[in-house]
Structure 1
Amino acid sequence: AGRIALGRVVMHTRERLVALEPQGKGIIVYTLRMGDEVIPAKEAFADIPASRPDKEMIEIARKIIEQREGDFEPEKFEDRYENALRDLIRRKQKGEKLVTAEPVEEDNVIDLMAALKKSLKAKGEKAHAKRARG
């Protein structure tokens, strides 16, 4: 009790470091990062200025999080990269000619604060409309 074992396992053609922890009647396996994948927090956040965020931005962030929170349902998530790769392989096996899309240059600069406010207002109006019908 109170101990975790370390091990190695191959997943997706890569060796991974894992931690094995006894839990109840079984063992939970956690994948860990290798040393070259970890950046010390002090180094990662060194360039961030020591200023306080705008209170209005914090409130908007809170509201967005409240609107998006819910139970985690892993079946609703998919590996889009793997699915696209499998589709590409399937099409290539069928002999389809593959076309590479040119990267899109976007120069459309938006006002993030205005977009967030608009999004919150729209979500708020939908919520009020649903409540009114109830």
Structure 2
Amino acid sequence: MHTVWRGSISFGLVNIPIKLHAATENKDIKLRNLHAECKSPLKYEKTCPVCEKEVENDEIVKAYEYAKNKFVILDEEELEQLKKENEDKAVEIIDFVKLEEIDPIYFERSYFIAPSEGGTKAYTLLRKALEDSGKIGVAKIIIRSKENLAIVRVYKNTLVMETIHYPDEVRNVADVPNVPSSDDVTEKELDTAKMLIDQLTTEFDPEKYHDEYRNALMELIEKKKGAEQTVTAADKKATTTGNVTDLMAALQASIDKTKKPSAKPATKKKATKMKKNA
């Protein structure tokens, strides 16, 4: 399993060297955009709309747009300095809370926590303490230059870190349009709805849920592959060579067409007479 972060996690005076591994993966089926004519994948280039030209990476600077078309440019050196000042490779658990106190809307991404060399005993200690107390740890960690709020909890026999949104990253629910302010339902309607909920209530089993669209899409793709309904992108070199060959042939044909007919060679008789006169 690929390691995405190395460092340590601490609570009180206990320090645990750890590694983080992504706990989830995106299984969306990625579709490419092809040119319908030659079936080649399309390229997306960085272009300047004012200069009307492609921009190289060394010509790009980072900036913050504080108003429409007004920017504050930030140098790479300044950003790197801020990163070094804040990127302490340690996760400090600052509070312990109950998991149910955090609404799921805050949760962002999950990472499995594995102990690094020398951290097995302390890892086991934290896992057991969280299990027995029924609590989770609230911590801060910097991943890819971004400071994240996170929680540390037990999942089966493994410690898991879940990054969570800061409160100001969760939009104000009062801004959601058209939400009814009162419960305008009858008692009979409510009883029927609650009866339906009771009938559909069961224990959560994640294995029973599947991505039906993804499965159907893969079946369609495999069916088309089996029927050999596939295309191959045009080879760039072959295409270029062909264009050059066609162009050279056209140029040569044009030259041949404009050539003046060559003069007829002198007859043998005329040639002999010219020789005698000489």
Q: What TM-score results when the alignment is normalised by the length of structure 1? A: 0.47
Higher strand content, 1 or 2 = 2
Structure with the bigger RCO (C-alpha within 8 Å, sep 6+) is: 2
Q: What TM-score results when the alignment is normalised by the length of structure 2? A: 0.26
Give 1 or 2 for the bigger CA radius of gyration.
2
